[in-house]
Amino acid sequence: MSTLTELSLSEVTTGLRHGNFSSRELAQAYLERIERLDPALHTFLTLTPELALVQADQADQLLSDWRKNGGAAPSPLLGIPLAVKDILCVAGVRCTCGSRILENFIPPYNATSVARLRQAGMVILGKTNTDEFAMGSSTENSAYGVTHNPWDLSRVPGGSSGGSAAAVAAGLAPLALGTDTGGSVRQPASLCGVTGLKPTYGRVSRYGLVAFGSSLDVVGVFGHSAADAALVFAQMAGQDTLDATSVELPVPEFQPDASTKPSLYGLRVGVPGEYFITGMQPEVEAAIHQAITILEELGAVIQPVSLPHTQYALPVYYLIAPAEASANLARYDGVRYGPRQPAEVMWDVFRHTRGELFGPEVKRRIMLGTYALSAGYYDAYYGQAQKVRTLIKRDFDQAFTQVNLIATPATPNTAFRIGEHADDPLSMYLEDIFTLPANLAGVPGIAFPAGFDSKGLPIGIQLTAASFQEDLLFRAAHAYQQATDWHTRRPSLNQS
Amino acid sequence: MPNDIIPAMTLTIEQVEHIANLARLELSASEKERMSQQLSAILDYVNRLQSLDTAGIPPTSSVLPPRSVLRLDEPHPGLDLETLLRNAPETEADQFRVPPVLD
């Protein structure tokens, strides 16, 4: 039965429709694999096997009805298992956000992204590990232990959506949801050798996503290919009356070109010099240049482009995101949810509950954000960061008048060792320098495998496009994946 | 180059205590010490923004164009009280229960 987990998504969809195997058998195959491999990887925080089998049986019923009665073809996602980052609400299933302050929180409703995927008949396997409240680049900030990179267990999977990225890489789920505030989908996708999409800000409803940085947060997806990610994106995207920032725009359908060399003729791809910096891993730089050559061979025109304010993205991000986080996390006060630290007066309940149950990185960012917003410092820090954010956004606006896509490395280095950045928050923040600018500008980005370094660790390329042009990201990434096989490589997990 | 003339940022223990109070965070003595060092280093790094001339540049608070999102003011069923109170550490008479606000 374990071979079911090795099929491609389109093979699984076909197999389910033909009745070669059932959704229940598929879910069981993944649950068995999780049981066998996850103790060493720790990608899941909560498993929902009973729920998964009920949902799989519902999918099997719909598939069987369709085989009998015909009619419109069911969604290609019907009966397909899904892992969900533990920061998106699934009704009735514990949602910890990787934090002790929500260790027993049971959301009473589904996130819209989750609800729409359930509508298509996807089967939820469980909730995946994350840095606490999505603040981190390694899952080391999870209160429930680190996730291990399936390519090298001594290394991090990236973060904050590291559990979802590692679960897909290890074949514990064919698809997984993540969230991306500063790179939390694209950076772990890069470090785990999978495809990760960060949609345009406003494209996917955030209702039921526990808020971190409200002007930056988006819901994204991991899969083995751009075509797989595109299916989930199409199902999730679109306006939602429950999220006032979701945008009412049509979502263009992506139809993957099945030829081995789909043409990228007519696309202009910009390469910004600011993303090839001294200090980055030379093997990463070489692999990205190689990948850009392949895009050129597929018909794209490659040209230099400049994003002159790139170096300011990190300082801007580390003022704006913590400022927004300090406001969003004010709600964790031991009154409406979570455990409460007892005290005589309410103000002490707040201070002790928050002081005891938030982890070090969350406290650091609350402090940083509170400082940046405090009287006397607001203009110099938060205000100035918002103005420089405008300059960063204008860089992208300007670049996208010249090119359709921008190609860069997704990360400066391949996966780092667990503990390598311990107690040096700034060095950890620098791992995200290539992914932060897209969040500040709101533009969509996709990261996917473009080679391996000499240690056998995946290297990721990132493509960004102008707002609401996810279809261009899918077209280019899909063409690259038709012409190469990096995305089909799997880690060898020698389990006992 | 203008970075050179900005003095290294230090956040004193007193400042850390002031911010922690604003944020309603109880910190231990060692946490205050570490917070002072680490926040100083981060603020030192982000201070490079001060060298940019942003006169006349409007701030970006959202990348989306400003717009009003309104819906019809019609009543519709929401979640019931019991469901909403289920995650609370302490409730009484369909309300959240907290200790006294005043000493």
- Catalytic-residue membership of A225: no
**What are A363-414's pLDDT values in tens digits?**
999 999 999 999 899 999 999 999 999 999 999 999 999 999 999 999 999 9
Quick count: other Cβ atoms within 10 Å of Cβ A255?
A: 12
Q: How far is A215 from chain B (nearest CA, A)?
A: 6
**What are A402-456's pLDDT values in tens digits?**
999 999 999 999 999 999 998 788 889 999 999 999 999 999 999 999 999 999 9
What is the H or E stretch that residue B49 is in? none
Reference A157, options A180, A135, A184, A179; nearest CA is A184
Which has the minimum average pLDDT: A69-73, A116-120, B98-102? B98-102
Judging contacts by C-beta atoms under 8 Å, the chain B residues touching residue A366 are 23, 25
Q: Answer yes or no: is pLDDT of A1 > 50.
A: no
Catalytic residue among A22, A23, A75, A85: A85
Residue A199 to residue A400: CA distance in whole angstroms: 17
**What are A203-222's pLDDT values in tens digits?**
999 999 999 999 999 999 99
Q: Answer yes or no: is pLDDT of A478 > 70.
A: yes
ipTM exceeds 0.90:
yes
CB contact under 8 A, B46 and A244: no
Reference B46, options B96, B87, B6, B102; nearest CA is B6
Q: Answer yes or no: is pLDDT of B3 > 80.
A: no
C-alpha A194: how far from chain center = 10
- CATH, domain range B13-50: 1.10.20.60
Which residue of chain B is at minimal alpha-carbon distance from A340? Answer: B89
Per-residue pLDDT at B68: 84
Q: What is the DSSP secondary-structure string of A247-290?
A: -----PPP----SSS---TT-EEEEEGGGS-TTS-HHHHHHHHH
Which residue of chain B is at minimal alpha-carbon distance from A439? Answer: B63
Q: Is A46 on the interface with B (CB under 8 A)?
A: no
Q: In which band, very low, low, confident or very high, does the pLDDT at A475 lie, cut at 50, 70 and 90?
A: very high
Tokens, residue A294: 């392949």
**What are A324-342's pLDDT values in tens digits?**
999 999 999 999 998 999 9
Q: Answer yes or no: is pLDDT of A313 > 50.
A: yes
Indicate the length of chain A as a whole number: 496
- Catalytic-residue membership of A184: yes
Q: Answer yes or no: is pLDDT of B2 > 90.
A: no
Residue B46 to residue A322: CA distance in whole angstroms: 12
Amino acid code (one letter) for A382: Y
Q: Where are the domains of chain B?
A: 13-50
Q: Where are the domains of chain A?
A: 2-6+13-308+393-495
C-alpha A28: how far from chain center = 25
Q: Are A76 and A231 in contact (CB under 8 A)?
A: yes
Tokens, residue A304: 């230099």
Region for B66 from its dihedrals, namely left if φ exceeds 0, alpha if ψ lies in -120 to 50, beta otherwise: beta
Region for A134 from its dihedrals, namely left if φ exceeds 0, alpha if ψ lies in -120 to 50, beta otherwise: left
Per-residue pLDDT at A226: 98
Residue A224 to residue A487: CA distance in whole angstroms: 6
**What are A248-296's pLDDT values in tens digits?**
999 988 888 888 788 999 999 999 999 998 889 999 999 999 999 999 9
Q: In which band, very low, low, confident or very high, does the pLDDT at A494 lie, cut at 50, 70 and 90?
A: low
Tell me the percentage of chain A whose pLDDT exceeds 90. 94
Q: Is A368 on the interface with B (CB under 8 A)?
A: yes
Q: How far is A426 from chain B (nearest CA, A)?
A: 6
Q: Are A57 and A79 in contact (CB under 8 A)?
A: no
Q: Is B53 on the interface with A (CB under 8 A)?
A: no
Q: Is B103 on the interface with A (CB under 8 A)?
A: yes
Q: Which of residues 413-432 of A touch B (CB under 8 A)?
A: 425-426, 429
Q: Provide the pairing of β-strand A44-47 with A123-128.
A: antiparallel
Q: How far is B3 from chain A (nearest CA, A)?
A: 13
- CATH, domain range A2-6+13-308+393-495: 3.90.1300.10
Tokens, residue A92: 């009735």
Q: How far is CA A208 from CA A167, A179, A204, in A?
A: 22, 12, 11
Quick count: other Cβ atoms within 10 Å of Cβ A44?
A: 24
Tokens, residue A281: 């891993």
Which residue of chain B is at minimal alpha-carbon distance from A391? Answer: B57
Catalytic residue among A113, A161, A164, A184: A184
Q: How far is CA A127 from CA A47, A76, A90, A365, B86, in A?
A: 6, 22, 9, 24, 21
Region for A70 from its dihedrals, namely left if φ exceeds 0, alpha if ψ lies in -120 to 50, beta otherwise: left
For B1-103, where are the E strands, in sequence order? Answer: 91-92, 95-96
Per-residue pLDDT at A495: 52
